[in-house]
Structure formats: C-alpha cells, structure tokens
Amino acid sequence: MIGELYERALGNAQDYAIPTSSELGFTGKPHSPLYLDDRSGVQIEDASGTRRPLPVKDWLRLRPGDEGLLSRSAGPVLDVGSGPGRLTVTLTERGVLALGIDIAPTAVAMTVAAGGPALVGDVFAQVPGAGLWRTILLADGNIGIGGDPAMLLRRLAQLLAPNGRILAEVNAPGVPSRREQVRLRSGETVGPWFPWAQVAADDLPQCGLTTSEHWEEANRCFVALTP
C-alpha cells in the first residue's frame, strides 16, 4: 500500500544500526546526534499539498515515551506496523515473547537483523496466533492504519486473548480527529494515495472496547483498550 518510497526510506535508514536496550540504559534517550538527522528524503503529503518529513529517525531506536508501552506489554505481544522493530527487539531482549508485523519487507529484515522476530503481512489478512495475543501495540500513530480506526480496532479485538489489551498511541484530548488521503513524496517522485487517520484520546470509536487506562509520557499520549 505505502510502496516503494517507504522501502527506500527504510533502506536509507539501514546505515544506522538499532542500538540494544542495554546500550540505551533503558532510557530511550539518544546518545548520538546522528540519530536526530532524518536523511530519508521522503515526505508525507496530504491532499492539500502540505508536506512533513517521514519520521524514519523516530523508528530506529527507543524514543522518550516508549518505556510506558514496553513496561505495560505482557507477552505474547503483537507489534502492528512494527517498522524497523525497535519495540519488538527491545521486548525480545527483555525476555518478552513478541512478534512484529509490517507490510514492508525491508522493515521486517531490519527487525530480524537486530534480533527480533517479525513477518511481512497485513493485519487485515491472516495473522498467526489469532485469539492468543495478550498485548497488541499500535505505536507511532498506527491506529491510523487503513484510515478507519473502528475497523482496525474491531480487527484487533479478534486477535486479542480474552484477557488481552490494545496499547495505542493517540493524539491528545481535544485535538481534532480526521481521516485523510496521504501519499509519500521524494522530490518529483510520488507514491500512490492511501488512507490514514488521526484519533484523539477523547474521540476513540465505540467498537466493543473500553478505555481502561490513559497516560501521557514525553509529550506523547497513550490509551489501553480492553474488550
């Protein structure tokens, strides 16, 4: 769906290794300015023509705010839209059974190379372990996958164990939710349009799930959803 430019951005990012959680001291704080430099050259463009960088740098290593997700993750964990695998890899290092799933083969290869299990796949297609996942992660705004948060959450509810929960990163309360068409751009090269969504913590769709926890960390907002 996102296509070649997403793969290109990840491929460029492979020059930067994903540090282990022990190297980070579990703080998630960058120790080198190299990781603050987004060199992918790929932007996200919306239908109005507004562009913003594709934040590949944020996906390469632990970020401030990630610890709250990690500490709440009981295995087995399904990391949806896992990208290069910083969360999957760290959970694996901590002895938590985790699996990353991403549509990009490059992302999956980077995760596996860093020591985390991952597979290429679409969360709306067949996913192993349906009904057995105790935690499902939607970090980095991945609640927007598919452009229909209600449809995504209903799908994830099918994958959860009876005592499981979804940990999702959302927008802060009061921020307008929206659905949009976006595409990736690098110079004059553009990818196909695809649907995306942004959802505020106080505007989550009603789809048989309950918000059991809401927390903020490092200027990021998260919710826990349970059946």
Q: Structure pTM?
A: 0.87
Strands (E), 63-219: 77-80, 98-102, 118-120, 133-138, 160-170, 178-186, 189-190, 194-198, 210-217
Binned at pLDDT 50, 70 and 90, residue 25 comes out as very low
User: Side-chain half-sphere of 79: how many Cα atoms within 13 Å?
Assistant: 33
CA 14 to chain centre: 18
Strand-strand pairing, 160-170 and 220-226: antiparallel
pLDDT computed for residue 40 by the predictor: 52
Strand partners, 190: 185
Q: Which CATH number fits domain 4-226: 2.40.110.10, 3.40.50.150, 3.10.180.10, 1.10.357.10?
A: 3.40.50.150
Q: For residue 166, which phi and psi values (nearest 5 degrees)? A: -100, 130
Q: Please state, as a whole number, how many other Cβ atoms lie within 10 Å of the Cβ of residue 79.
A: 30
pLDDT for 117-175, tens place per residue?
999 999 999 999 999 999 999 999 999 999 999 999 999 999 999 999 999 999 999 99
pLDDT computed for residue 35 by the predictor: 32
Q: Assess whether pLDDT exceeds 70 at residue 80.
A: yes
Q: What is the mean pLDDT of residues 28-47?
A: 56
Lowest model confidence (mean pLDDT) among 4-18, 41-55, 107-121, 208-222:
4-18
Domain boundaries, the chain: 4-226
| Nearest CA-CA partner of 5 in 201, 145, 189 | 189
166/135 Cα distance (integer angstroms):
6
